[in-house]
Amino acid sequence: MRPIPSFSLHRPKTLSEALELLQALEDARPIAGGTDLLVLLRDGAVSAKHLIDLGGVHELQYIREENDEIRIGAATTHAQLLRSELIAEKTPLLHEAAASIGSVQIRNRGTLGGNLCNASPAADTAPPLLALNAEAAVASTGGTRIIPLGDLFAGPKMNSLRPGELLTEIRFPTPPAGSGTSFQKLGRRRGLTLAVINVAVYLCLEGGVCREARIALGAVAATPIRMPAAEEMLEGRQLSGELIEAAASACRDQVRPIDDIRASAEYRREMAYVLTRRALMDAWERARRDTL
C-alpha cells in the first residue's frame, strides 16, 4: 500500500462554486465521503490533480418529498437516509439498502451520490433506486440534465458523467399504496460486507393483480441492471408462487456475472434466482399487507 499521492483540495461552499471549479481545473474530481475514492487513490487505481470536496456544499444534502416525488441530494449520507422518517416510511427499500452498507463509520461518511457515481456493480443503493425508477439530475456550469438512473452506469467502476458534471440529485416517484418492496443482499459474512449479489424488487398490486413489477440486481453484470423479461412475466398477472419462481428463473437466465475473488459466476447466477425469489415473495407479502 502506498501513501496517498498528492493533489490539491478545494472546498467550495456552493454548488455553483463547485461546478465552476470542476469546469476550470484540469484533472479534477469530486470527493464526497471519500470512502471509495481515498481507497482507490491509495491503491493507485485512480489519480487526480484536484479534488473538489462536496462536504461543504450543504445544498446537496437534503431529503424531501415534492409532488409525490422523493428527492435526495447527492451528498446525502447513508446515515442521513437511515435517520429519515420519510425514507423509512415511504421507501423502506432504500432504508434497508442504506442500512446494509458498510459499517456505522462508513455510513456516516459515504454518500448516496458517491455510491452511485463510483459505479461499482455491487453498489447497494443502485438496485433499489433502479427498482424505484429513479432519475438522476446531472449538473454542469452549462445547466442541468435529467437522465434515467440506469444511464449513469457505463461499466464496472465507470459512470457516464462528462468532465465538469456533477450528480446533484436522485428523484423517484413516491411508491403508492398497494406497493411492496424488498431488498436482499448476500455477503460473505453477516456484518460489514460487500454484496456477493444484491436484489431489489418493487411490486405494485391492484386487486391481487400485479400492475407493475420492477426487479433490479447488482453484482451480476457490468453494471447494476433491471430484469425486463422477468418483470414482463409478472405484470398484468395474478401473482402466485409458481409465477414468482418462473420470474426468478428468468433472472437467472438473464444475468451475466463474472468470477471474482468473492464468488464464482455460477454461484452468483444461482443466487440471482434464490434472492430474486425471496425478494419477490417478500415484496408480494408486503404489498398485500399494504392493500389490506
Partner 1 sequence: MIELWDGASMEYDKILENLLGRDDYLVVGHSVVRTDALEKALGRARFTADYIPKGTAVVKVVRSSQPHARIKVDVKAALGVPGVLAVLTAADVPGHNQIGYALPDQPFLNGEKVHYIGDPIALVCAEKEYAAAEAVDAVEVEYDPLPASFTLDAALQPDAEPIHEGGNVAVTTRIRKGDAERGFSAAEVEVEDTYETPYQEHMYLEPEAAYAVPEGAGKVTVVGTMQSPFLVREKVAHVLGWNLSQVRIIQALTGGAFGGKDDMGPLVCAKAALAAVKLGRPAALVFDRDESVAYTPKRFPARIRYRSGADGEGRITAVEVDITVDCGAYANRAPFWLWRMTAHAAGPYEVENASVDGRAVYTNKVFGGSFRGFGDVAIHFAAESQVDRLAEELGMDPVEFRLRNVLRPGSRTTCDQLLDHSVGMEECLRGAAEAAGWKRGRELGRKGSRVRGVGVGCAYHGISTSRSTPDWSAASLILNQDGSFTYRTGICELGQGSPVGHAKIVAEIIGAPLSSIRIEVPDTDSTPNAKPTHGSRGLMLGGTAAADAALKLRQRMISVAAEMLGCPEADVDLREGRAFNRQDPSEEVSFAELAEELYVRGVSPAAYGFYTSPRRFYDPETGLGVNYSVYTFAASVVEVEVDTETGQVDVVKVWPAMDVGRAIDPLMIEGQIHGAVSQGIGFTLMERLVVEDGLVLNPNFKDYVVPSALDTPEVAETIIVEEPYRHSAFGAKGVGEPAIISIVPAIANAIHNATGLRFNTLPITAERLYAALRRRKP
Partner 2 sequence: MRITFELNGKRVECEARPNKTLLDLLRADLGLTSVKKGCEQGECGACTVLLDGAPVNSCLVLAPQVEGRAVTTLDGLVDDPLMAALRKAFMEDGAIQCGFCIPGMLLSAYALLRENPRPTEEEVKTAIEGNICRCTGYIKIIEAIMDAAERIQNERP
Ligand X SMILES: Cc1cc2nc3c(=O)[nH]c(=O)nc-3n(C[C@H](O)[C@H](O)[C@H](O)COP(=O)(O)OP(=O)(O)OC[C@H]3O[C@@H](n4cnc5c(N)ncnc54)[C@H](O)[C@@H]3O)c2cc1C
Chain positions contacting partner 1, by CB under 8 A: 1-3, 186, 188-194, 261-264, 266-267, 270-271, 274
In angstroms, rounded to a whole number, what is the distance separating the alpha carbons of residues 36 and 117? 10
Q: How many CB atoms lie within 10 A of CB 105?
A: 11
The DSSP H or E segment spanning 175 is none
- Residue 143 binding target from partner 1, ligand X, partner 2, none, CB below 5 to 8 Å by type: none
Could you say whether residue 182 binds ligand X (CB under 6 A)?
no
Q: What residues does 136 pair with on adjacent strands?
A: 147, 170
The CB-of-88 to ligand X minimum distance in angstroms stands at 19
Residue 61 C-alpha from the chain's centroid: 17
Q: Which of 36, 135, 169, 212 binds ligand X (CB under 6 A)?
A: 36
Q: Is the distance from CB of 58 to CB of 199 less than 8 angstroms?
A: no
What string marks each residue from 79 to 118 as x (binds partner 2 by CB under 8 A) or -?
Answer: x----------------------xxxxx-xx---------
Q: Which spans in the chain are helix H?
A: 15-24, 37-43, 78-83, 85-90, 92-99, 104-109, 112-117, 126-131, 228-234, 241-254, 265-291
String marking each residue 210-229 x if it binds ligand X according to CB under 6 A: --------------------
The smaller minimum CB distance to ligand X, of residues 197 and 234, is found at 197
User: Is residue 51 involved in binding partner 2 (CB under 8 A)?
Assistant: yes
Residue 35 vs 254, nearer CB to ligand X: 35
Q: Which of 102, 123, 111, 95 is nearest to 168 (CA)?
A: 111
Cell matching residue 89: 416510511
Cα 86 to Cα 79: distance, rounded to the nearest angstrom: 14
**What residues numbered 155-174 form the site for ligand X, per CB under 6 A?**
161, 166-167
Applying CB under 8 A, the span of 37-45, 164-172, 196-204, 236-244 interacting with partner 2 comes to: 37-45
> Measured over all CA atoms, what is the biggest interatomic distance in the chain, rounded to whole angstroms?
60
| Shortest CB 286 distance to partner 1, Å | 17
Based on CB atoms, which residue is closest to partner 1, 233 or 271? 271
Binding site for ligand X (CB under 6 A): 29-37, 39, 54, 74, 101-102, 106, 109-111, 113-115, 117-118, 123-124, 161, 166-167, 194
